[in-house]
Structure 1
Amino acid sequence: MADGETIALTEGGKVHWLCLPYMDGPSVFSGLLGGRGRFHVGPVGVNSPTAQRNIADALAIETEWRTPEGGRLTVTDALVRTPHGARQTLVRLIKCTGGEVRAGAVLEPDFDYGRETAQWEVHLREGQRIEGVARARSHDGIELRVTTDLDDPVEFERGQVKAARTLSEGDGAYIAITWGDHQPPQSYTEAESLVKDTIDYWRDRIASGRVPDHPFGADMARSALFLMGLCHRSGSIAAAGTTSLPETPGGIRNWDYRFVWGRDGAMSAIALHRLGFTEVADSLVKFFANLPEEDVQIMYGLNGRTRLTEEILDHLRGYEGAGPVRIGNGAFDQVQNDIWGQLLELIYQTQRDKQTAETWRLVVRLADGALKAWGTRDRGFWEVRGEPQHFTSSQLYLWVALDRGSRLAAIRGDREKAREWAKTAEEIRKAILDGVREDGVFTAVPGRDALDASCLLIPTLRLLPPDDWRVRATVHAVAEGLAHKGGLLRYDTNEFGDGLPGEEMAFVITSFWLVQGYVAIGELTLAEELYHRTVAYTGSLGLLAEEVDPDTGRHWGNTPQAFSHLGLIDAALALINAGVQVVGR
């Protein structure tokens, strides 16, 4: 669920992840990471639902339950969103669809990542509607209000709200929490209307684009919705909706991805732009253009916050006990030289025919930043925590920065800038090509043998044409050297030297890059097979995390992951543009 300000995750009838007031703010339900915070709705005494699904073309969830006595219950969840913006309300609609069911709810927020227990006050008991309020002393003083007509009885005690009511077939009830300035729903009818408005909003959004009428269209539409759900009202786009979900069993590689990276955001906006959702790129470019004219960071808070100091929360044990739980991200002040090219590729792909003075100032900042960065070491596309290197991917994006900058300058009529940037772009291109291995394979660092899946982007970014022999050599080398149980690693941790212990699972976006690589060299059968194999990991809800264990299909890393969903869109479009029509999973 998403509303343009935050997201909520639910499993087994429990909302166990919600951060307020924004996605990168403190959690009020930390159950996902081992905390107490939860918001459970379902039949009393029944622990597991029979089914959970996304409502078609919407960011809302439906959960079905059956009781041992034959009763049936459906719970529909939505973070309320309308064309006017977020309503800062989470609604849970409860409907008895058969027999008789004792429906219950347990609401137990734990403010500030579980560091503060809620203290409830009953403010209103009016007919069938109950309202209570909990105010946080920490957590920026946020106030949480609950309203419900589950009134038989409602109990406020020890940080919890417990409510229940017996429903017969056709009966409905609701429970909602609200924060901010909006009024909570006053009745089941109003709550139902808010959920309908939310579903209509997302369906209108997806209908406003140009998702291809193709068997891959449903995959792309679902991924587009998840990317839109990661979009913040400021124009920024979060890299993922969670923090510290482990990338491997036992943890260690647990990171906070609830921020906007220039890299992830730009690639997400370009993917959505290709599907006709042009307003996302417009908003993201404006977000970066409006940031203070200081050194460009690789990531920011969703409202432009610059200090993202990393902290470990020892009181949370982590997902399934796999800590540590981190908030903030210590890579925020890293040097990553691909940032210049990522943002200039975004501007070139989405704004070149509508450059404003504001956009042009950003172009100049970025291209001049790339000029200064050329020849320096950095932490690379994968923001390693080892020693800085001259990464091929960083050089590739420095070339992109100055090539696209030169083209944008030419469009604007600034011949001097166009010549200056084009000259250095050609110098960088020559250096990249000179660094290729004798067998034509581009590696992570010129002169070394470690492979890097980001080199698959060379034909996509048009450094070389798809029919160049070095493209074919690199695609095959990466496909063989980084193969992992039918998926693809981003690099071999034993060879790459990323400064961290442990190994990783198959990276989802790199599998989609390999799909595009296969398309580029004409291996369409391999491309389609890999696409279907990777899309199969989405499961019933269509979600993709950062990584996956191909043996089990289990997701690893933060979710929903923008990288993974934009990768799906790009791979599907590559197959469609190559003429792939027949689908066989």
Structure 2
Amino acid sequence: MPSRIEDYALIGDCETAALVARDGSIDWLCWPRFDSSACFAAMLGTPEHGRWLLAPSDPAPRVRRRYRDGTLVLETDYETADGAATIMDFMPPRGTASDLLRIVLGRRGQVAMHTELVLRFDYGSAVPWVSRTEDGAALQAIAGPDLVILRTPVPVQGKDFRTVGEFTVSEGEVVPFVLSYGPSHLPPPEAIDPLAALRNTEAFWQEWSSRCQHTGPWRDAVLRSHITLKALTYRPTGGIVAAPTTSLPEQLGGARNWDYRFCWLRDATLTLLSLMDAGYRDEAEAWRAWLLRAVAGSPRQMQIMYGIAGERRLSEWEPSWLPGYESSGPVRIGNAAYSQRQIDVFGEVMDALYQGRRGGLPTLEAGWALQRDLAGHLESIWDQPDEGIWEVRGEQRHFTHSKVMAWVAFDRMIRSAEEFGLEGPLDRWRQLRQRIHEDVCGTGFDPELGSFVQSYGSKHLDASLLLLPLVGFLPPSDPRVQGTVRAIEQRLLVDGTFVLRYDTAEAADGLPPGEGAFLACSFWLVDNLVLQGRREEARGMFERLLALRNDVGLLAEEYDPVAGRQVGNFPQAFSHLALANSARNLALGDRHAAHRT
């Protein structure tokens, strides 16, 4: 059985990522990109589906982990009866090849170590041909287009379609392992100096971290969140994946298992604001450029998500040989939601581009022309039903949040024109903005409940309604907003900290009921408490949410308060973006800090 989700740590090279468990097993890695097929897929199955174990041969009663300050270099300390050793796991910023390094350092006494490399390409289905390189200095594994080279001074041998080795590390001794990926039709990747790669990787991350401008409380948590966000960035294009994993369940044993190795437009505004607020303008500009390239073309063809290079077809299929994390099936590769209609993404795109202008990013003339085309298409579809922010796989509805974000789209177009002298049909946009506002307030609000509702005509609540004051649709002092927050606290808040997206048992969404609390929604409630002047409550809730992070500061998509487990894909960009945003809002000490207007 794989480790608990919260027992994993992330390493990566800003093009792909691996997950390392506390027991020393790398159970997930897709090469050469985030969305490539996995060569280690034990996280969704068994060790036979691919993993790389490197750990003491005898039990280690004490295990401690940390990242080196300001970096993505993971250090895991193991203490056994005979000594202590540290394993340093990292992936250097990519050069001519992609490398994964594991360096064992003897700290005290002697520690017997064991390694077991199980390479299984194509999500655990393809056993490679393993042989020695021509010079005999390394092992190479080939399966179709993929080639992986293992270089280490440790004698290793094949056993039951695995590569295994035993060795002892003494105090002060350094034992490196280098795993390198390359296309099988090209010469093998060249050898690199492991210690020089460690120095260069540490310098890369520390230089990047030194530019973080967040100086308020919780700086370490905010910085770790931004390092995680940087690690989820596909450097060649600027796209940022929602998570590096697929099919980690939103409920253990459940079927809500999705592939998150793609870029959602919905994350656009939070990503842009978070990067700009922290001082990472280059990354913000690269993300905006990816956004504009992705949505370019016919407005009718704009999708809710794209591949990391802007790919549009993300067809979904199920590898039948993978049983899923803790038997949570099915495992899904690709995401069929890419073809859904989700009207709210128009608002997110317009808001992101508006915030970029406000933040001083260079003006792009093509950006405004594209926005005008998108606004023209939105005029014809804003009053139609859709699948909504949570990508329901049931019947389309008139989701209140979707309508609000259509309002945001026209509001930001108007503001962009007014503040930056851009041309557009302002009178028509103003009329549409007012019409949508009246429609939402008249149809999306239930006087009997004293709250806005999930969709027109329903009695169900939805945590996305917490965004109404955050995007400026209504002020936080409005009785309808306060009633909505109060209703969500009464019906969707669990144990005073955990906010459910909606009641999956009541609001049919085309899937079996049951999931954890969505962590981003919990941070949205923190922001609302700040806006309402309930600062002590907001701070207390924020601190409790911070305590959910694992030992190296990472958060999944959701949390199961009954099982006390992190659930969903991991680590989740949206959770870390929301964390950084709430920390900023609390630190500003301003009742209107959380507004995006």
Calculate the TM-score normalised by the size of structure 2: 0.91
Is the CA contact 1:44–1:102 (under 8 Å) kept in the aligned structure 2? yes
The one-letter code matched in structure 2 to 1:175 is: F
Q: Return the offset for 1:157.
A: 4.9
Is the CA contact 1:254–1:324 (under 8 Å) kept in the aligned structure 2? yes
The one-letter code matched in structure 1 to 2:383 is: G
Q: Does 1:521 align with 2:524?
A: no
Q: Secondary structure of 1:102's partner? A: strand
The one-letter code matched in structure 1 to 2:259 is: D
Q: Return the offset for 1:552.
A: 4.5
- Pairing partner for 1:56 from 53, 69, 72: 69
Is the CA contact 1:28–1:113 (under 8 Å) kept in the aligned structure 2? yes
Q: Return the offset for 1:10.
A: 0.4
Is the CA contact 2:385–2:398 (under 8 Å) kept in the aligned structure 1? yes
Q: Return the offset for 1:259.
A: 0.6
Residue 446 of structure 2 corresponds to which residue in structure 1?
437
Residue 544 of structure 2 corresponds to which residue in structure 1?
533
> d(CA) in 2 for partners of 1:519 and 1:220?
18
Is the CA contact 2:212–2:223 (under 8 Å) kept in the aligned structure 1? no
Over the aligned positions, Cα root-mean-square deviation in angstroms equals: 2.1
Is the CA contact 2:60–2:79 (under 8 Å) kept in the aligned structure 1? no
> d(CA) in 1 for partners of 2:423 and 2:173?
70
Is the CA contact 2:272–2:288 (under 8 Å) kept in the aligned structure 1? no
> d(CA) in 1 for partners of 2:426 and 2:159?
68
> d(CA) in 2 for partners of 1:546 and 1:61?
22
Q: Return the offset for 1:400.
A: 0.8
> d(CA) in 1 for partners of 2:403 and 2:354?
18
Q: Does 1:368 align with 2:380?
A: no
Is the CA contact 2:217–2:583 (under 8 Å) kept in the aligned structure 1? no
Q: 1:79 to 1:314 in 2, by over 3 A?
A: same
Q: Does 1:142 align with 2:149?
A: no
Residue 479 of structure 2 corresponds to which residue in structure 1?
469
> d(CA) in 2 for partners of 1:266 and 1:405?
15
Q: 1:232 to 1:280 in 2, by over 3 A?
A: same
- Pairing partner for 2:518 from 485, 507, 511: 507
Q: Deviations over 1:385-410 (max 9, x none)?
A: 11111111101110111111122233
Q: 1:86 to 1:573 in 2, by over 3 A?
A: farther
Residue 583 of structure 1 corresponds to which residue in structure 2?
none
- Pairing partner for 2:170 from 165, 168, 175: 168
Q: Does 1:95 align with 2:92?
A: no
| Identical counterparts, % of pairs | 35
> d(CA) in 1 for partners of 2:424 and 2:63?
66
> d(CA) in 1 for partners of 2:83 and 2:580?
41
> d(CA) in 1 for partners of 2:158 and 2:373?
55
Q: Does 1:107 align with 2:111?
A: no
Q: How does 1:59-458 map to 2 (within 5 A)?
A: 59-68=72-81, 70-81=82-93, 87-123=97-133, 130-137=137-144, 141-150=145-154, 153-180=155-182, 186=191, 190-212=193-215, 214-233=216-235, 234-291=237-294, 292-294=296-298, 295-352=301-358, 353=360, 354-435=362-443, 436-438=445-447, 440-458=450-468
Is the CA contact 1:147–1:185 (under 8 Å) kept in the aligned structure 2? no
Q: 1:425 to 1:77 in 2, by over 3 A?
A: same
Is the CA contact 1:33–1:318 (under 8 Å) kept in the aligned structure 2? yes
Residue 19 of structure 1 corresponds to which residue in structure 2?
30
> d(CA) in 1 for partners of 2:217 and 2:564?
23
Calculate the TM-score normalised by the size of structure 1: 0.92
- Pairing partner for 2:572 from 561, 571, 575: 561
Q: Return the offset for 1:296.
A: 0.6
Q: Deviations over 1:440-478 (max 9, x none)?
A: 411111332200111111111011122222221111111
Aligned length: 566
> d(CA) in 1 for partners of 2:279 and 2:96?
23
The one-letter code matched in structure 2 to 1:318 is: G
Q: 1:298 to 1:86 in 2, by over 3 A?
A: farther
Q: Return the offset for 1:2.
A: 1.6
- Pairing partner for 2:39 from 28, 42, 50: 28
> d(CA) in 2 for partners of 1:241 and 1:266?
20
> d(CA) in 2 for partners of 1:286 and 1:158?
48
Q: Secondary structure of 1:180's partner? A: strand
> d(CA) in 2 for partners of 1:161 and 1:48?
26
Q: 1:176 to 1:265 in 2, by over 3 A?
A: farther
> d(CA) in 2 for partners of 1:347 and 1:446?
29
Q: Which moved more, 1:501-510 or 1:259-268?
A: 259-268
Q: Return the offset for 1:534.
A: 1.0
> d(CA) in 2 for partners of 1:123 and 1:157?
18
Residue 545 of structure 1 corresponds to which residue in structure 2?
556
Q: Return the offset for 1:432.
A: 1.4
The one-letter code matched in structure 2 to 1:334 is: Q
The gaps in structure 1 that reach 5 residues or longer are 581-585
> d(CA) in 1 for partners of 2:520 and 2:93?
29
Q: 1:194 to 1:539 in 2, by over 3 A?
A: same
Q: Return the offset for 1:183.
A: 7.5
Is the CA contact 1:79–1:90 (under 8 Å) kept in the aligned structure 2? yes
Q: Deviations over 1:333-381 (max 9, x none)?
A: 0000011111111111123443212222332233223222211110001
> d(CA) in 1 for partners of 2:292 and 2:250?
33
Q: Deviations over 1:197-243 (max 9, x none)?
A: 1122122112112112x331111111111111111121111111111
Q: Secondary structure of 1:494's partner? A: coil
> d(CA) in 2 for partners of 1:277 and 1:402?
28
The gaps in structure 2 that reach 5 residues or longer are 1-10, 592-597
The one-letter code matched in structure 2 to 1:44 is: S
Q: 1:24 to 1:186 in 2, by over 3 A?
A: closer
Q: Return the offset for 1:411.
A: 4.1
> d(CA) in 2 for partners of 1:316 and 1:109?
15
Is the CA contact 1:457–1:513 (under 8 Å) kept in the aligned structure 2? yes
Q: Which moved more, 1:231-240 or 1:53-62?
A: 53-62
Q: Return the offset for 1:86.
A: 8.1
Q: Return the offset for 1:550.
A: 2.3
Q: Return the offset for 1:484.
A: 1.9
Q: Deviations over 1:527-583 (max 9, x none)?
A: 111111111100211111111122453101111111111111111111111269xxx
Q: Return the offset for 1:525.
A: 1.6
Q: Return the offset for 1:303.
A: 1.6
